[in-house]
Amino acid sequence: MSHIRLIATAKANTNIALIKYWGKRDEKLILPMNSSLSVTLDNFYTITTVEFTDTLTEDKLIWDQAPGNYEELIKISSFLDIIRKKSGINLHAKVITENHVPTAAGFASSASGYAALAAAATKALGLNLSHKELSIIARQGSGSACRSVYGGFVEWQKGSMEDGSDSYAYQILNENAWNITILSVMVASGQKKVSSRDGMKRTVETSPFYKGWLSTVNEDLEEAKKAIRNRDFVSLGEVVERTALKMHATMLGAIPPIIYLESGTLEVMNRVQELRQNGFPAYFTIDAGPNVKVLCQPENESRIKQALMELGSVQKVISCNPGEGVRYLSEHLV
């Protein structure tokens, strides 16, 4: 008797938020409190193969060539349930995933991870989804994943429907429309102390400053979109830096406080501001970790990179540019 074997492989790049997603209004469906905006990066990605088959009695996970941990498998299984339900095909799956994302560097491998998983699993089950539909599915794995479906500059519209049907991302500018450089400046290694998921929940529930975040994030978003459409690097950089600091301010007000900024983080922030005073436009943004991402123009990249590498706390600087959205590969990881 021949067995059923439904297989597909997808590749998705990670993204860096320029206007941050911080806080959920629905934990289960992953619906955000605010809209956010990101740029998809070319050098950091995940490749995932999903094989649905009748030979398995449970889902299996292979993560970077080793058996995946149980907690991750449970999350992936319940995510696959959403896709199994949508397709009406109730087979277990083997998921093989390779991350080319410096996870400990404050990059959520969950963004590229769930975008690639959503794409591979839906493709394997023969669902022919639009980018919008794929974005809605990826969002339910990890919020930031809904943005990684697209290349270039991307907005995740928070939506207002209770079922999440209007909470998805769309592309503002494609990856070839405007070239900027994003430097990932690593100042420390090791896993972060509080996950983004827990950190944003605690902030929403306890920080008196969260109200301030919500009342201004939309203005910041509009300003950023306008700057992107006008290819206005300085205006974009200014709002990006300001809004990242506001997000961190909300966390400092949480109980207990969440402090992701470390001494190395502050050293890089100061150097970026100094570079600007010396005529090199550069702006920082910081996520839920100590590392810093620095935006600059490609023509200044090597000078800025060099200036950052001189700092005692800087371990590594990796350069990225805007990258592509999700794509399907014909070669599989099995």
Contacts with ligand 2P0 by CB under 6 A lie at 17, 20-22, 30, 36, 108, 110, 142-144, 196-197, 287-288
Could you tell me the two tokens for 325?
């959205």
Rounded to a whole number of angstroms, the minimum distance from the CB of residue 146 to ligand 2P0 is 9
Nearer to ligand 2P0 by C-beta: 41 or 91? Answer: 41
Amino acid at residue number 55: T
Distances from the Cα of 18 to the Cα of 60, 85, 133, 198, 320, angstroms: 35, 34, 23, 21, 14
Q: Tell me the three-class secondary structure of 262-292, residue by residue.
A: CHHHHHHHHHHHHHHHCCCCEEEECCCCCCE
Rounded to a whole number of angstroms, the minimum distance from the CB of residue 162 to ligand 2P0 is 18
Rounded to a whole number of angstroms, the minimum distance from the CB of residue 56 to ligand 2P0 is 26
DSSP summary character for residue 227: H
Q: Where are the alpha helices (DSSP H) in 88-141?
A: 109-124, 131-139
Nearer to ligand 2P0 by C-beta: 122 or 250? Answer: 250
Amino acid at residue number 199: G
Is there a contact between 240 and 286 (Cβ–Cβ < 8 Å)?
no
Q: What are phi and psi of 258, to 5 degrees?
A: -115, 120
Nearer to ligand 2P0 by C-beta: 240 or 307? Answer: 240
Question: In 194-215, which positions are buried (b, 16+ CB within 10 angstroms) versus exposed (e)?
Answer: bebbebbbbbbeebebbeebee
Q: For the chain, what's the residue count?
A: 334
Nearer to ligand 2P0 by C-beta: 30 or 239? Answer: 30
Bridge partners (DSSP) of residue 318 are 184
Rounded to a whole number of angstroms, the minimum distance from the CB of residue 21 to ligand 2P0 is 3
Rounded to a whole number of angstroms, the minimum distance from the CB of residue 192 to ligand 2P0 is 10
Rounded to a whole number of angstroms, the minimum distance from the CB of residue 41 to ligand 2P0 is 12
Nearer to ligand 2P0 by C-beta: 17 or 83? Answer: 17
Nearer to ligand 2P0 by C-beta: 36 or 291? Answer: 36
Residue nearest to ligand 2P0 (CB): 143
Nearer to ligand 2P0 by C-beta: 141 or 237? Answer: 141
Rounded to a whole number of angstroms, the minimum distance from the CB of residue 334 to ligand 2P0 is 27
Nearer to ligand 2P0 by C-beta: 196 or 291? Answer: 196
Question: How far apart are the C-alpha atoms of 276 and 281, rounded to whole Å?
Answer: 5
Question: How far apart are the C-alpha atoms of 98 and 64, rounded to whole Å?
Answer: 5
User: ∠41-44-48 over CA atoms, to 5°?
Assistant: 115
Q: Please name the helix (run of DSSP H) or strand (run of DSSP E) that holds residue 307, with its range, or none.
A: helix 301-309
Is there a contact between 80 and 30 (Cβ–Cβ < 8 Å)?
no
Nearer to ligand 2P0 by C-beta: 142 or 181? Answer: 142
Rounded to a whole number of angstroms, the minimum distance from the CB of residue 296 to ligand 2P0 is 20
Rounded to a whole number of angstroms, the minimum distance from the CB of residue 263 to ligand 2P0 is 20
